[in-house]
Amino acid sequence: MNLAQISMRFWAAAMPAIGSAAAVLAVLLVASGLVLRWREFCSFVRRHVLRRSRYDYRRIFQEYLERLGAITDRHELYPAILAACCRIVGVSGASLVVRDSKDSFQMKASCGLKPFGFDLGSYLSFLDWLEQNRRIVTRRDFVSDKSVRPIKSEGLRYCVQFNSEACVPLFVGDRLYGVMNLGARRKGGYDPDTKDLLKLMSVQFAIAIHNANLYQAMLRQNRNLHQASKLKTQLLANLSHELRTPLTSIIGLAELMEEGGDGELTEEQLMHVGLIRKGGDRLLATVTSMMDLSKIEANNLELEVQKVNMARLVDKISEEIKLKKGTSLKNNLGDSTPGVYGDEKRLAQVVRHLLDNAAKFTERGTISVGAEKRGDMLQVSIKDTGIGISRDKQKAIFDGFVQGDGSITREHEGLGLGLTISRRLVELHGGRMWLQSRVGRGSEFNFTLPLKPIGVYSGAAARN
């Protein structure tokens, strides 16, 4: 039976399924005397007439590629990529070369394929060619394709070293991220259908590797940050402890001299000793804040929880606040204000700092303290008519070592730890703190505290 008879029988059987367009094409091919191998002819009809692929792309992406995207450990990802590629494409084996952050290519994994060597230093020209041309190239291409002739010799040596029949470049953006070396296929060669599939898979493989690298880098950075945070906390604790002891002695001796314990002092001497005591008090307050912050960050701060009368607490602290001329302080809390549960000493620390801040930044006007019940919480507000805080700095002032005015020539002193500690103390009580402010219109700090004992404390159990 000759080729014409075979063709006529084929088209007689396939005519109902293929349609008239394919029949006309077949007649033209036979009439022109064009002789094609049967497998290539069927592939041509399937791809260009029936518009079909031999691969089920939906199943491949669902079963393999989506699963690979969820792997974050590179040691698991590399072999999984090669195993999936071997199963999908029907390859005898594969190996993976990946480019690191220093632009060095390294062999990372192999599956059923044993390369004869691992040195990539002598194939940089071939890798550059892959990066520039962004195409899958096979060992057969090096022999028959004129477009790869400039790199033919090095490309063939590369294929021999890695025992590969095809090289699939992996790209992230315009950067060559790696190369997947594939062995011989069990059935057939690397036809256009298979190359199209490999192009799609190479994109997904490159993204999966890139994401895994980013994830590993993030874990490494988080570990470094955690270690740095622990070192900072330990340093603060040690430094604060070493400074607190001599400062207490300095302040005590200055007070003794002010009271005449070492004999009478002249007015000038009293002024000098007073400056020493005030400076020591300010430095001791700073050291105490640093110790509090280090305890909070190390989760070592314990709260002695009890029922606290906020009206009396605010009254007591208000008497200690130094107001500027023309500024008044009004406490709107009274007998009707419900009590809250918390550590009275720490809550006093929060209220004192907020009132000190309001007094410090209010040249003339009013400071008022109010409270309102909000469900199971009491919302306390401290308002002032001071200079206010710009919107771009409102969030940052709750971070450590930040003030609303961070310039070198700022008028007001302090490390900027007070608001950080105050917010953390409120959060330890199960509440939250926030700010509303406008430049030139003043600020309003709000925080909430629990009206009932709740199990959020790091210290002793709540007492009625």
Domain of 354, CATH number, reads 3.30.565.10
179 and 280, same domain (yes or no) = no
> Is the domain of 70 the same as that of 212?
yes
Q: Tell me how far apart the alpha carbons of residues 181 and 169 are, in angstroms, rounded to a whole number.
A: 9
Task: Check which CATH number belongs to the domain holding 250 and give it.
Answer: 1.10.287
Tell whether 239 and 158 lie within a shared domain. Answer: no
Regarding whether 76 and 21 lie in a shared domain, the answer is no
- pLDDT in single tens digits along all 464 residues of the chain: 554 555 556 545 555 554 555 555 554 444 444 444 445 544 554 444 434 456 666 777 666 677 777 788 888 889 988 988 888 888 989 999 998 878 888 888 888 887 777 778 888 899 999 999 999 999 999 988 888 888 999 999 999 888 899 999 999 888 898 999 999 988 878 988 888 889 988 888 888 888 888 888 888 888 888 888 777 777 766 776 777 778 888 888 888 888 887 788 888 888 888 888 888 888 887 777 777 777 777 777 788 899 999 999 999 999 888 888 889 999 999 889 999 999 999 999 999 999 998 998 898 899 999 999 999 999 999 999 999 888 888 777 877 554 444 443 344 454 567 888 899 999 999 999 999 988 888 999 999 999 988 754 444 433 44
End-of-domain residue from the set 193, 216, 239: 216
Write down which residue in 188, 216, 244 finishes a domain.
Answer: 216
CA 224, 227, 233, 238 torsion: positive or negative?
A: negative
Cβ atoms of 171 and 134 closer than 8 Å: yes
- Residues 316 and 380 both lie in one domain: yes
Q: Which domain range does residue 257 map to?
A: 224-297
Residues 92, 149 within the same domain? yes
What single DSSP character describes residue 127? H
Q: Which two tokens stand for residue 329?
A: 């302080």
In a domain, 458, yes or no: no
Q: Identify the pLDDT of residue 67.
A: 77
The count of residues in the chain is 464
Judgement on whether residues 36 and 62 belong to the same structural domain of the protein: no
Is the same domain home to 280 and 424? no
Q: How many domains does the chain have?
A: 4
Q: Are residues 388 and 285 in the same domain?
A: no
Q: Which residues partner with 328 through β-bridges? A: 366
Asked whether the CA dihedral 63, 69, 71, 77 is positive or negative, the reply is positive
Question: 177: closest CA among 139, 204, 154, 137?
Answer: 204
List CB contacts of 272: < 8 A, sequence separation 6 or more: none
**Tokens linked to 352:** 């004192």
Q: What is the pTM of this model?
A: 0.50
* Residue labelled with tokens 């071997």: 86
What is residue 20's predicted lDDT score, i.e. its pLDDT? 54
For 254, 257, 288, 345, 425, the CA distances from 241, given in Å and listed in that order, are 21, 25, 9, 20, 21
Shared domain check, 43 and 62: no
Q: Is residue 345 part of a domain?
A: yes
pLDDT of 447 reads 95
456 assigned to some structural domain: no
Q: Are residues 285 and 393 in the same domain?
A: no
Residues 65 and 211 in one domain: yes
Question: What number of CA atoms fall less than 13 Å from residue 349's CA on the CB side?
Answer: 21
- SS3 per residue for the chain: CCHHHHHHHHHHHHHHHHCHHHHHHHHHHHHHCCCCCHHHHHHHHHHHHCCCCCCCHHHHHHHHHHHHHCCCCHHHHHHHHHHHHHHHHCECCEEEEEECCCCCEEEEEEECCCCCCCCCHHHHHHHHHHHHHCCCEEHHHHHHCHHHHHHHHHHHHHHHHCCCCEEEEEEECCEEEEEEEECCECCCCCCHHHHHHHHHHHHHHHHHHHHHHHHHHHHHHHHHHHHHHHHHHHHHHHHHHHHHHHHHHHHHHHHHHHCCCCCCCCHHHHHHHHHHHHHHHHHHHHHHHHHHHHHHHCCCCCCCEEEECHHHHHHHHHCCCCCCCCEEEEECCCCCCCCEEEEHHHHHHHHHHHHHHHHHCCCCEEEEEEEEEECCEEEEEEEECCCCCCHHHHCHHHCCCCCCCCCCCCCCCCCCCHHHHHHHHHHHCCCCEEEEEECCCEEEEEEEEECCCCCCCCCCCCEC
Average pLDDT, the chain: 80
